Amino acid sequence: MTSAPDHRYPVGTVRALLDTAHVTAPTRKALQARLGGPPTPRPDVLGERMATLAAVCARLLPQADRDPPIDVAGTIHAQLATGMGDGWRYADLPPDEAGWRQGLAGIDQTARAMFGGDFTGLTACAQDSVLRAVQAGSPAGAIWRTLPAARFFETLLAGAVEVYYAHPWAQEEIGYAGMADAPGWRAVGLGEREPREPGEIAI
Amino acid sequence: MRRHRPGDIVDAVVIGTGAGGAPLLARLAAAGLSVVALEAGSHWSPTEDFATDETEQNKLFWRDERLTTGGTPLAFGKNNSGIGVGGSTLHYTAYTPRAQPDDFHLHRDFGVGVDWPLGYAELAPYYDEVEATLGVSGPSPYPWGPPRPAYPLGPLPLNGAAQLMARGCEAIGLRTSPAANAALSAPYHQSGIGWRPACTNRGFCQAGCSTGAKASMDVTYIPLALAHGAELRPESFVTGFERDAAGSIASVVYRHAGGDERQRCRQVFLCAGAIETPRLLLMNDLGNASGQVGRNLMAHTGLQLWGSFDPAVRPYKGIPGALISEDHHRPADADFAGGYLLQSIGVMPVTYAGTVARGRGLWGEALTRHMRGYNHVAGINILGECLPSPGNYVELSGEVDARGLPKPLSHFTAGENELRLTAHADKTMRAIWHAAGARDIWSFDRFAHTIGTCRMGDDPTDSVVDRDGRVHDVPNLIICDNSTFPSALSVNPALTIMALSLRTADRFLARVTRGDV
């Protein structure tokens, strides 16, 4: 196991930057809207599958020490409800909403086959086993005979991750200050830092 | 802005305002022709509309769904598409190397693919002109390729990734150079365009430049075209054509604000890119006597190699592709045709996270721990040759989109040449990153740019357009975008598309002068 460097910023760092002249008006608007959480999905395209999605996202991007957490599942749901995807789809996956509903139902099928219960009711450890099986590409469950599991998992994971790291709280977690670019950057070289880029804190 | 009525017969309609459409639009307008440009997307105001936020900037990508299949299915959306006045130049990295002379005759040199019916010599004066108009920043002299004029401006500063790549390459004996980028290293003035400001090193080229320092078409050739009297109609999505008895296009039909409109014209320039151009032709059963529309889809081999470093890189700052090496343009030990260039890459956080998710499949604590090292990550990627193959093409799928039009379906499988080239590059880049001190090195196999699908050639039986972009079997239709490239060229395509666009306009205008149109 490699020990990746860990250089998070202090909590509140990015939120404090948003109120400064280092951030342009369109940038501030976009990020503050995101801090307000996702809009209510209309129509409700996931229905009862939403609970499964929320439980899956909690394992893909655990946020045990953040209350409230970034609403990854709610944001995905709101995106799906707009009918506007990301511009492409593997041809062997069904259209977006239907694909997500089927895939989430498939995860529950796998959960029942492996552990005898719906995904939401399993322990974190069991949930991770289910997700690993889906990611590996040949999990138990009838849905996966027609829905390619690994492709669905890749789409699900990329979607969740892109929602999570677009959120200012997650950008704080990774020490990202790129949104504070209104004055431009002069210190762009290796190891160079400008005063408004917060220093890293050791963990 | 000059406005034409739909009933007016304009000299030319240009479909698409990216690297293919915008330069020729400006050229035709400057020659005094009446021209109307139809653009599917919006006309943004970068300072007011562009946020330093990747998600907000998804509006720059073509999001009507494209279906993708094959052994190595191509990604679209933020990878290979663009919409809005300026097309994909709104989010190109502004990397503007020239193709080298031998890029145009791969078949002559290697016996594979096809040669271009024109060569470097025909494009060189247009490369000169485009670089001057855009204000390309680059090193002089440039270490590779034939002698060339000095770049208009000196190179942009090297960011952390570029410094690391320079260090690694030096250690293993590879030459590097600051790259040519179409972003200004100093304020720059061009007649008809005005002053544009110097780049502030925002590092956000791939999600839209909010300052106008990057030479996207909306801040260069489009204002030039408007200054010469061109009319621009954004949010105008072309769906079809009306033809006369001789088979010529009499008017272009497009959707605007929910209704169908038409513009009568004498000539059409189709510049919608290597997916939408063949899609429009196939939907209208136009220009396809050869059966070649949609065929010969190519995509540059674009392997990325990532690593983590002890010093902070903060990869969101500086021009993303600051450093280049073309030492592998034709590698001596190659077991493949063609070659590749190497470039350092900066990266925005959401893009990097999505790459980690798709490329490594990390999730849970493994992912969040890796991402907490984001500030210490740097990458290199290649831009390499891709050969045409009968199995790689674009067709219409059986699914329709929200407009009621068939979604395109792309088929793409990397061939033996792409696999060998990629393996060679993987080895090269790992050696560079090891020498530069990287830990946790991993590669992400990807393909960049869509190329081909309306091949240029002298023989009407196996190509769609001639060397001047004229569709063989439609009298007044010219195509100018990356779809006409007979081969992929082992460089980023934008500069070559723009050079070809000016040449296409000049060839057309010469016919106008001769009374041959």
pLDDT digits (tens, 9 = 90+) for A9-32: 777 888 888 999 999 999 999 999
Q: Please tell me the distance in Å from B258's CA to the nearest CA on chain A.
A: 18
Domain boundary assignment for chain A: 13-173
Amino acid B393: pLDDT: 98
Amino acid A8: pLDDT: 66
Per the CB < 8 A criterion, the answer to whether B254 and B231 are in contact is: no
A7 with B312: Cβ contact below 8 A: yes
The closest CB to that of A173, out of B157, B372, B399, belongs to B372
* Nearest residue in B to A177, CA atom: B316
pLDDT at residue A167 is higher than 50: yes
Contacts of B53 in chain A (CB under 8 A): 27, 30-31, 166, 179
The closest CB to that of A91, out of B68, B311, B374, belongs to B68
Amino acid A1: pLDDT: 37
DSSP state of B465: B
Mean pLDDT calculated for residue range A158-165: 98
Q: What is the spatial distance between Cα B380 and Cα B161, in angstroms, rounded to a whole number?
A: 8
The closest CB to that of A84, out of B63, B157, B350, belongs to B63
Q: Residue B117 corresponds to which tokens in the numbers above?
A: 């019916």
A161 with B62: Cβ contact below 8 A: no
Average confidence score pLDDT of chain B: 97
What pTM does this model have? Answer: 0.97
pLDDT-derived band at A201 (thresholds 50, 70, 90) equals low
Q: Please tell me the distance in Å from A20's CA to the nearest CA on chain B.
A: 14
Q: What percent of chain A has pLDDT over 90?
A: 81
Residue window 161-220, chain B: list those with CB within 8 Å of chain A: 163-164, 200-204, 210
pLDDT in tens, B226-258: 999 999 999 999 999 999 999 999 999 999 999
Instruction: Break chain A down into helix, strand, coil percent, rounded to 5.
Output: 50, 0, 50
pLDDT at residue A71 is higher than 70: yes
* Nearest residue in A to B72, CA atom: A90
Instruction: List own/partner pairs for A17-21 with CB under 8 A and 24 or more apart.
Output: A17/A177, A17/A179, A17/A180, A17/A196, A18/A168, A18/A179, A20/A180, A20/A196, A21/A182, A21/A183
pLDDT-derived band at B79 (thresholds 50, 70, 90) equals confident
Q: Residue B240's CB: how many other CB atoms inside 10 A?
A: 18
Q: What percent of chain A has pLDDT over 70?
A: 94
Residue window 145-164, chain A: list those with CB within 8 Å of chain B: 154, 157-158, 160-162, 164
Q: CA dist A121 to A67, A77, A156, A174, B16, Å?
A: 21, 21, 20, 31, 52
**Which of B184, B372, B395, B442 to mutate to probe the A interface, most A CBs <10 Å?**
B372
Amino acid B373: pLDDT: 94
CA dihedral defined by A34, A37, A41, A42, rounded to 10 degrees? -70
Average confidence score pLDDT of chain A: 92
Mean pLDDT calculated for residue range A100-105: 97
Contacts of A4 in chain B (CB under 8 A): 308, 369-370, 372-373, 440
B51 with A7: Cβ contact below 8 A: no
Of B208, B250, B232, nearest to B50 by C-alpha is B208
pLDDT in tens, B309-345: 999 999 999 999 999 999 999 999 999 999 999 999 9
**Which of A161, A167, A171 to mutate to probe the B interface, most B CBs <10 Å?**
A161
Amino acid A5: pLDDT: 55
Q: What percent of chain B has pLDDT over 90?
A: 97
Amino acid A6: pLDDT: 59
Least confident among A3-17, B286-300, B433-447? A3-17
A174 with B317: Cβ contact below 8 A: no
Amino acid A203: pLDDT: 46
Query: Does the CB of B396 have a partner CB in chain A at under 8 Å?
Result: no
* Nearest residue in A to B64, CA atom: A87
Q: Residue A129 corresponds to which tokens in the numbers above?
A: 């086993």
Amino acid B471: pLDDT: 98
Amino acid A2: pLDDT: 45
The closest CB to that of A165, out of B58, B157, B353, belongs to B353
pLDDT in tens, B423-441: 999 999 999 999 999 999 9
The closest CB to that of A162, out of B67, B350, B439, belongs to B350
- A146 φ, ψ (degrees, to nearest 5): -110, -20
Q: What is the spatial distance between Cα A86 and Cα A72, in angstroms, rounded to a whole number?
A: 16
Name residue B380's beta-bridge partners: B305, B344
Mean pLDDT calculated for residue range B14-20: 98
B69 with A90: Cβ contact below 8 A: yes
Amino acid B80: pLDDT: 82
pLDDT-derived band at A202 (thresholds 50, 70, 90) equals low
Report helix, strand or coil for B196.
strand
* Nearest residue in B to A58, CA atom: B364
Mean pLDDT calculated for residue range B172-200: 98
Q: CA dist A162 to A8, A18, A180, B40, B425, Å?
A: 18, 20, 20, 26, 28
Mean pLDDT calculated for residue range A156-167: 98
| Cis bond before residue B125 (omega within 30° of 0) | no
Amino acid A96: pLDDT: 80
B317 with A185: Cβ contact below 8 A: yes
**CA atoms lying within 13 Å on the CB side of residue A183:** 12
Report helix, strand or coil for B270.
strand
Q: Residue B362 corresponds to which tokens in the numbers above?
A: 């990390």
Query: Does the CB of B371 have a partner CB in chain A at under 8 Å?
Result: yes
Contacts of B399 in chain A (CB under 8 A): 95
pLDDT in tens, B23-37: 999 999 999 999 999
Q: Residue B48's CB: how many other CB atoms inside 10 A?
A: 10
Amino acid B517: pLDDT: 84
Contacts of A86 in chain B (CB under 8 A): 58, 61, 63, 77-78
Query: Does the CB of A183 have a partner CB in chain B at under 8 Å?
Result: yes
Per the CB < 8 A criterion, the answer to whether B139 and B154 are in contact is: yes
